[in-house]
Amino acid sequence: MDRRGVSPVVSTILVVAIVVILAATISVTVLDTTADINEPTPNVAETTGEFTTANGEAGDEQVVQVTHVAGDDVDVEDLEIIVQASGPDNDLPSEARLVNLPGDGIWSFTIDAENIEGDDDLIDTSSSGTSRIIVVDDSNVWSAGDTIQFRIGVAGADFRDPPRDPNPEADELEVTIVHTPSDAIIFEDTFTA
């Protein structure tokens, strides 16, 4: 009986078994990871944005409004709003993030300091104006026809013409709304003064 042929057959079977086990382990790891990545992004088909300032008028209102025109409803708690102001002033660019929405300020649905990460002066949290995260009765869902609204603080970025001292002069405002579970941008616009 010739025993030399047994060793190559056994080694081939062992190599194939090791490759199959490694492939199974790697595929389970990769497929498990991709399940977390594939959080569906809401289809916010159309939005409109508007930025208004109180040029030539009394007051310092600088209001951003983003209206959901068509598409899927989005839970407000799944949104993060990134606001970036830039301009010729040395204090700019400046960035703030609106988080932990909807707001929980002194008035229902308003923005409070706990809703702001970054430059606190960029977002106006005073109770003297209109700074509501959602302007509707059902504050937990951003649906077609609903408007997100907040004020830009003149102490953080002054878009008025001319800006008033000592406020930093700004000429460009970028607003980005991110759906945090999918990490997808559902609105992005740049406004100029």
The pLDDT of residue 164:
78
The pLDDT of residue 154:
86
141 membership: H or E segment, kind and range: strand 141-142
The pLDDT of residue 34:
57
- What is d(CA 125, CA 111) in angstroms, rounded to the nearest whole number? 6
The pLDDT of residue 6:
64
SS3 24: helix
Is it true that domain 46-192 has CATH number 2.60.40? yes
The pLDDT of residue 2:
59
Give the residues of the chain that fall short of pLDDT 50: 136
The pLDDT of residue 48:
87
Please provide residue 27's backbone torsions phi and psi, each rounded to the nearest 5 degrees. Answer: -65, -40
Full-model pTM: 0.73
The residue assigned the tokens 């389970």 is: 28
Domain residue extents for the chain: 1-38, 46-192
The pLDDT of residue 58:
53
The pLDDT of residue 180:
92
Question: End-to-end CA distance of the chain, in Å?
Answer: 93
